[in-house]
Amino acid sequence: MIEAIHATPKNLKELLPGVTKDDKILKYKIPSYQRPYSWTEEQCGQLWEDILNFYEQTKDDKNTAPYFLGNIVCYPTKENKNSEVIDLLEVIDGQQRLTSIFLLLRALHAKAVNYVPLYSLFWVTTLDIDSNPKTEHELRLTTDVLGDKESRSFESVMSHNQQSTDENTKHFKNFKFFEKKVEEFYSNNPSEYLLFINTIIGKIVLLPINCNSQEQALTVFETINNRGMNLTDSDIFKANLYKAAQKNKSEEEFIESWDALTQNTESAKTHLDDIFRIYLRILRGKEGIKDTEPALRKFFTDSSSKFNLSKQDWKDTLNKLERICQCVQYLTVSAPPKIIKWITILKQGTQKTQSSHVVESPLYAYLFEHLDTDGNPHLKKEHEQEFESLCSGLVRFVYGEKLAGQDLNNIKYIYFQAVIDILETKGISKTLSDFNNKLDRENFNIIETKINDGDFTQKIRNVMVYILGYHENDVKDQGPVEIEHILPKNWKHYQYNWSPEDAKKARDSIGNLVLLEHDLNKAAGNAIFSQKKEEAYKHSKINAAKALSEIEEWTYAEFQEREKKLKGELKMFFRGK
């Protein structure tokens, strides 16, 4: 249950209170897992035009409602600085607009350096025992974003130290943009400048949503955010691992290693969250755990968890994540065609579903143990043959269970047990035996009935076509493949001597479907059968398609014969023969 959330609209003077005697100084921090500052001059220009238009309205009508700039989602935290504990508000959402507002305030101050109410908005000013302002300066907004050169420029821009500022950063460019706009306004309206400032700091309103914890703040952010990408789990994990790196002062080394992992993940055409999800299952497998799987973020960040990332050796963790990334690269890019074909079949019916992550777990467990990463990721010959058997056995089990109507949630434990067995034995014998026993013992009569009746969903029917097209031959690298309708969906009576009733029954049945290379499928189109044979089927590297070129004419009788043959092959496949 979510605890009470506090949200009261505040203008900038209320959001960033000035001189205070309170030891608990109000400051904001952008945490390390946030993405770098990214506002462009175009976005800053829009903000400036909105503020300028609002100012003109308030001059004409003093009762104009405040200008609402948006939300800031934050939660209270603490940090140690010079042996002193400082209270902060960590910004989960709103960092982009808050940073831009600070740059605008800094540009306004450049033309009003003696205007204390403005200065104290972005610099903390405390009073000494005699109620005199202390001289030390501390920004009200700091940033810990990792590996972000722009972040290091923020303080130098805000502190007037432009000599040490990188002029290529967005902070500097946007500050200069605001400075130019402020100069233009001041030149045209010098007598209105303080009124303009007071309008900005008194009538621009934000809604700070003050949560009670990071978890609650992230939940709120992900619920209300509709302006772009939410923070991912890996953004949070990055911060936790960074904390671990700070313990032995290896922050720069960590940033370099993390950036390399990120680049390799992109090369493997996957996402860091998926790499962590595979890592979760390997860690659980090594511990012999096969019960209900916890949420990814909770598993790696819960303070009571032995797997909490901030408690781990960050180098060892990143090395394992890098290995998993290489496993993904092998499975999606580097594996030989005879293995890629099984992965292609597997993904046909599971891609973009929760089940894809679960059913592939045994494959990653095997690769994690056996992948040779010396040079391009590869398996030794004996392991490659064993892995191919695991892939084909997994395809048989996954789709056998789907044909039998099994709900993945009811059999996840089987996949988790497979991970445990593979990591423990380094082999696949027990896993394949478990797969085959469950299919034979519980489900094969249902599977056979479904095949006989042709009772498939469209997705599963497509999978069956992939199985029939791929499983018997050692597929060459034929490129992208598609499912071809032998009798076209848009057929003509003068091309095919079929009745409408027969055509309707046959059109989407496996006897009328064949796997075909993309270019050949395009060449086949809706042409007559004799033309398809010459221009497409006989040139295919897929045996099931090439066999069609031996048929003289595509009749309903030929369809029935092929349908019966293919159903027999499917039943043999699921029998493991």
Distance CA 475, CA 338 (A): 6
By CB atoms closer than 10 A (0-12, 13-18, 19+), residue 364 is buried
- Which pLDDT score is estimated for 226? 47
Find out whether 33 and 231 touch, Cβ atoms under 8 Å. Answer: yes
Does the pTM surpass 0.75? The reply is no
**Buried (b) or exposed (e) across 198-237, using 16+ Cβ within 10 A?**
ebbbebbbbbbbbbeebbbbbebbeeebeeeeebbbbbbb
Distance CA 355, CA 461 (A): 18
- Which pLDDT score is estimated for 57? 87
- Which pLDDT score is estimated for 19? 47
Distance CA 307, CA 85 (A): 28
Compute CA distances 32 → 94, 118, 420, whole Å: 15, 28, 35
**C-alpha of 335 from chain center:** 24
pLDDT tens, position by position, for the chain (577 residues)?
445 566 778 888 888 865 444 445 578 888 877 878 889 999 999 999 999 999 988 887 777 788 888 888 888 887 776 666 677 888 888 889 999 999 999 999 888 877 877 877 887 766 555 555 554 567 888 888 765 565 677 888 887 655 555 778 888 899 999 999 999 999 999 999 999 999 999 998 888 888 877 777 776 666 665 444 456 888 888 878 887 887 888 888 988 899 899 999 988 888 999 999 999 999 999 999 988 888 898 899 888 888 988 888 999 999 999 999 999 999 988 899 889 889 988 888 776 555 568 899 999 999 999 999 887 889 999 999 999 999 999 999 999 998 888 887 788 899 999 999 999 999 999 999 999 888 876 678 888 889 998 888 888 999 999 998 887 665 555 568 889 999 888 777 667 788 888 888 888 899 999 999 889 988 888 888 889 889 999 998 888 889 999 999 999 999 999 999 999 999 999 988 7
Phi, psi (deg, nearest 5) at residue 319:
-60, -40
Q: What is the 3-state secondary structure (H, E, C) of 154-193?
A: HHHHHCCCHHHCCCCCHHHHHHHHHHHHHHHHHHHCHHHH
Distance CA 563, CA 538 (A): 20
- Which pLDDT score is estimated for 393? 94
**Tokens, residue 460:** 């599963």
